Amino acid sequence: MVLRLDYVGQRVVVRRVVPGERGPSGGPAMTDVLGILETWDDVELSVRRADGHVFRIAHADIVTAKPVPPRASVRQRIPAGDLERICSRGWQPTEQEELGDWVLRAAGGFTGRANSALVAGDPGLSTDAALERVARWYVDRELPVLAQVITDSDWLSELQSRGWVQARPDQSDALVQVGSVSQARRARRAVGVPDRSGVQDERGAPLLWATQLHEHPDLDWIKLYGRTAGVDIDAVRAVLTSGERVVFASIKVPSSDGETVAIGRGVVTGDWLGMAAVEVQPRLRRHGLGAAVVESLVEWGATCGALSAYLQTHSDNTAAMRMYERFGFRTHHTYRYLRPPMQ
């Protein structure tokens, strides 16, 4: 298999001829190089091994070359419940209460994550008592009773056995994906970022618009994100700006009106970077704007000391899945929302 430019940033193995050396059988000596494909052009490619050494290999010396699965990562070994708590710290509600390991969250109805009980771990009560407490807590706040449950956890079958059902049966389960910040930074060349000189908007102007980073979202940012109909704007801003360190990325048309055409949100919790709300104006999708936003958030996260990253998407969002995969993200676990049977 021949490697191509779009494999840059991925783990590969290259079998090459060692110039001037002979193997045991008298033929040309060959050796394998395993690592991350750093560069590729018409003359040679380069591979960085795990020890940091970079091999430059001429195409003429390549015997075989192919991508290989990424090395098993410690990021994939973090328990799903622990990762969900990290995610929750990066998307905080306006009100929350701990119930043992569970977290009850409310934010005036703005997003499911901020208005559901995170059911993971031990609630410190019997199951029936814990679920009764959850239901009463949300009824008191005039909010739907929702539980966010990890799909392959024991709690999913436990709640289902008590009649709890999917609250959003028309949606696929949410995917929580994780990746390496350093790998995502290397992979930016493979997704066509930052050089989009061959792409034009509907007026024929090249899409070389800069990504801007701000501490707070403006109204244009919030409007493009959506999901705010009927929700108090103060609650929206409170959730969006919550977290240890938060940044808001946006790409605006460089014109008098400065229309916002792409956005994204980054939050750093410990050494984890969380990315969310990556949205692009429908008419300008597939022009690399979403990838440019992701790149800017990854670079910002790296400056904050983030080593690992997470994001949430849905399996039916195929365009986003392909983009995130090329940045090195892989699914860690899935979750869904459940509700009581009579709600």
CA 224 to chain centre: 19
Classify domain 174-333 by CATH architecture.
3-Layer(aba) Sandwich (3.40)
What is the C-alpha to C-alpha distance for residues 117 and 337, in angstroms, rounded to an integer? 9
Mean pLDDT for all residues in the chain: 88
Q: At a CB cut-off of 8 Å and minimum separation 6, what does 62 contact?
A: 14, 15, 16, 17, 45
Give Cα 252 distance to the centre of its chain. Answer: 22
Q: Give the range among 144-148, 180-184, 336-340 with minimum mean pLDDT.
A: 180-184
Rounded Cα distance, 13 and 186, in Å: 17
Fold of domain 5-67: SH3 type barrels. (2.30.30)
Structure tokens given for 10: 């991925």
DSSP 202-237: TTS-B--PPEEEESS--HHHHHHH---TTS-HHHHH
- Which residue's entry shows tokens 């090395």? 71
Residue 82 CA from chain centroid, whole number: 17
Residue whose tokens read 């949100």? 265
Closest CA to 127 of 157, 105, 150: 157
Say which residue, 314 or 194, is predicted with more confidence: 314
CA–CA distance from 12 to each of 8, 132, 143, 319 (Å)? 9, 52, 50, 24
Confidence at residue 329, expressed as pLDDT on a 0 to 100 scale: 93
Distances in whole angstroms, Cα of residue 84 to Cα of each of 58, 100, 278, 297? 45, 15, 19, 20
Distance separating alpha carbons of residues 105 and 98, to the nearest angstrom: 9
pLDDT at 207 over 90: no
Q: What is the DSSP letter of 24?
A: T
Task: Tell me which range, 141-150, 246-255, 317-326, is most confidently predicted by mean pLDDT.
Answer: 141-150
The string of DSSP codes covering 145-206 is --EEEETTSHHHHHHHHTT-EES-TTSPPEEEEEEEHHHHHHHGGGGT-S--TT-B-TTS-B
Tens digits of residue pLDDT in 14-48: 999 888 787 777 778 888 999 888 888 888 989 98
Average pLDDT score over residue span 243-267? 90
Sketch the domain layout of the chain as residue ranges.
5-67, 75-166, 174-333
Contact 337, 165 (CB under 8 A): no
Mean pLDDT for 100-122 is: 97
Q: What are phi and psi of 133, to 5 degrees?
A: -65, -45
**Residues 288 and 192: beta-carbon distance below 8 Å:** yes
Cα distances (Å, whole numbers) of residue 190 to 31, 69, 149, 177, 286: 26, 17, 35, 19, 15
* C-alpha span between 265 and 211 (Å, rounded): 12
For residue 8, give Cα distances in angstroms to 36, 64, 93, 178. 8, 16, 39, 19
The per-residue pLDDT for 7 is: 79
Whether the upstream peptide bond of residue 67 has omega within 30° of 0, thus cis, is: no
* pLDDT tens-place string over residues 51-76: 778 889 999 899 999 888 765 556 66
Taking only the tens place, the pLDDT of each residue in 282-337 is 888 888 899 999 999 999 999 999 999 999 998 888 888 989 998 999 999 999 99
Neighbours of 33 (CB within 10 A): 20
Backbone φ and ψ for 107, nearest 5 degrees, come out as -150, 45
